[in-house]
A and B are shown apart, each in its own frame.
Chain A
């Protein structure tokens, strides 16, 4: 592997990110842009009370951003606000160079040393947080 950032597991997660596309009808649809690099995430949520019942994401961004959306596709169903906060805290942990609780986030470990790429990973999670605020 030529760069620790681009491990096979992360590339696979980006390429095969579950729940890619749009979700219609939805209860919340949010688009977030990274103003520095032009990455764009659209996240559609269907809610069951306070919890996420279904979701879909569309990413026009880098591999890190796509893979981060893949983590959401894998693990955000069933989460409420507190669950999302815990997921985001886990992302913060891995970007701070610590071991995350969630196994799927382990492949983001090398990103910790690339500060300019942290926002690539955070963008889908910011969209998730904003989406729940809107609901």
Chain B
């Protein structure tokens, strides 16, 4: 059975070549059914009611947390639910950032998604911090050789993407963690592009925070996770106040709940958590060794095909080492929106634009790129359709 057959949207549209999973993945039946089951048989608020439905909803919700924790080899009280990667990073920028003092330094890189730049700029402006930037090599990787020069005793946090959402480059986290430890800095990782590509032992990475989104890993939109090392979370004040994040409230004083609920104010996205839990359960049943090989084979096929297109430039590593199947390219002077529009005529869904990485686009002097993402359900026909569409785009816009 093709993996694609587990995805109703893909089976309902056999001519669709979906290569935009870097923006949003599709959802398998197992996830859709779990969400539907909750909404049709268990829907109620969690952590409050004592009636049967509330009990069932709470069990399903906390069961989702267990599934996610297990999938990422984490403690359940280190899994904080957020609206997505952006919300998770903002949470850290506020709660962890509260303890920072003027002159403290935060390090990001030139290839970060805006979600891993802007919250730190805002924190810098609130607290009088210094924001430092690691440059990107011509190959589209973070220049880790500069770490020794950039880090100082004032560095409090290094915030980097595990995998670039533009170049597909995978960062050497072990090296980052080692450098961070040498100056006593914490490490936050934007894992949004990494998590769709298989299981991960997050605590073993040695980082302090790991943020990711459900909608890129076969789960619904609007749900994400901040994994935080317990000792870090325990030391942090809440970001938002409200229900669920308290132990007791009087007008004189509020005592906050311990993590993770300290950071989960308000009614949560219950069906999102259940969907994300189901996605982790579904992923844990797949043969990721085979999928990783297949994703790399398809990535190689795509890179080989792109290499044959005149006047085309790949923005990222040309080899398959330390990269994922996120492949961005520029075609002559043709604008990525125009290319993506022509590809759409061939049934190919690709992303065109700056991918919320404008500093990286400036680095490479491009307005944007066209991006294709290889997912477990990608097939040879998807690559071929993209290359055929590109041929037409080149003839039209060259």
Fill in one digit per residue for B326-345: 1 if any A CB lies within 8 Å of its CB, else 0.
00000000011110011001
Q: How far is the CB of B117 from chain A (nearest CB, A)?
A: 14
A39 in the interface (beta carbon within 8 A)? yes
Contacts of B396 in A (CB 8 A): 2, 6, 11
Contacts of A19 in B (CB 8 A): none
Fill in one digit per residue for A62-100: 1 if any B CB lies within 8 Å of its CB, else 0.
111100000000000000000000000000000000000
Q: Answer whether A38 and B345 are a contact pair too, CB < 8 Å, given A61-B335, A63-B338.
A: no
| CA gap between A36 and B397 in the complex, in Å | 22
A53 in the interface (beta carbon within 8 A)? no
| CA gap between A74 and B115 in the complex, in Å | 40
Q: Size range of the interface on A?
A: 10 to 19
Q: Answer whether A6 and B338 are a contact pair too, CB < 8 Å, given A37-B368, A38-B367, A38-B368.
A: yes
Complex contact A40–B337 (CB within 8 A): no
Q: Answer whether A2 and B368 are a contact pair too, CB < 8 Å, given A37-B353, A38-B358, A62-B338.
A: no
Complex contact A63–B397 (CB within 8 A): yes
Fill in one digit per residue for B345-382: 1 if any A CB lies within 8 Å of its CB, else 0.
10000001110001001000001100000000000000
Residue of B nearest to A114 (CB): B341
Out of A5, A40, A60, name the residue touching B341 (CB < 8 Å). A5
Contacts of B342 in A (CB 8 A): 2-3, 6
Q: How far is the CB of A132 from chain B (nearest CB, A)?
A: 26
Q: How far is the CB of A92 from chain B (nearest CB, A)?
A: 21
Q: Size range of the interface on B?
A: 10 to 19
B304 in the interface (beta carbon within 8 A)? no
Question: In this complex, which of A2, A38, A61, A65 has the most chain B Cβ atoms within 10 angstroms of its Cβ?
Answer: A38
Complex contact B367–A3 (CB within 8 A): no
| CA gap between A39 and B335 in the complex, in Å | 9
Contacts of B368 in A (CB 8 A): 37-38
| CA gap between A61 and B367 in the complex, in Å | 7
| CA gap between A134 and B109 in the complex, in Å | 36
B172 in the interface (beta carbon within 8 A)? no
Question: What is the interface of chain B mostly: helix, strand, loop, or mixed?
Answer: helix
A51 in the interface (beta carbon within 8 A)? no
Complex contact B337–A120 (CB within 8 A): yes
Complex contact B353–A2 (CB within 8 A): no
Complex contact A3–B358 (CB within 8 A): no
Residue of A nearest to B357 (CB): A38
Q: How far is the CB of B113 from chain A (nearest CB, A)?
A: 14
A31 in the interface (beta carbon within 8 A)? no
Out of B338, B361, B392, B397, name the residue touching A38 (CB < 8 Å). B361
Q: How far is the CB of B397 from chain A (nearest CB, A)?
A: 7
Contacts of A117 in B (CB 8 A): 337, 341
| CA gap between A3 and B344 in the complex, in Å | 10
Complex contact A37–B352 (CB within 8 A): yes
Contacts of B367 in A (CB 8 A): 37-40, 60-61
Scan residues 1-59 of chain A and give those whose CB is less than 8 A from a CB of chain B: 2-3, 5-6, 11, 36-40
| CA gap between A49 and B222 in the complex, in Å | 52
Complex contact A38–B341 (CB within 8 A): no
Contacts of B338 in A (CB 8 A): 6, 62-64
Residue of B nearest to A116 (CB): B337
Contacts of A37 in B (CB 8 A): 336-337, 352-354, 367-368
Question: In this complex, which of A2, A36, A62, A114 has the most chain B Cβ atoms within 10 angstroms of its Cβ?
Answer: A62
Out of B335, B352, B358, B392, name the residue touching A63 (CB < 8 Å). B335
Scan residues 142-200 of chain B and give those whose CB is less than 8 A from a CB of chain A: none
Residue of B nearest to A62 (CB): B335
Top 7 A-B pairs, shortest CB-CB distance: A62-B335, A38-B354, A62-B337, A37-B353, A38-B368, A38-B367, A62-B338
Query: Chain A interface (Cβ within 8 Å of chain B)?
Result: 2-3, 5-6, 11, 36-40, 60-65, 114, 117, 120
16 further A-B contacts with Cβ under 8 Å, apart from A38-B358, A63-B397, are A3-B341, A3-B345, A6-B396, A37-B367, A38-B367, A38-B368, A39-B335, A61-B367, A62-B335, A62-B338, A63-B335, A63-B338, A64-B337, A64-B338, A114-B341, A120-B337
- Complex A-B: 13 CB contacts under 8 Å: A6-B342, A11-B396, A37-B354, A37-B368, A38-B367, A38-B368, A40-B367, A62-B336, A62-B337, A63-B335, A63-B338, A63-B397, A64-B338
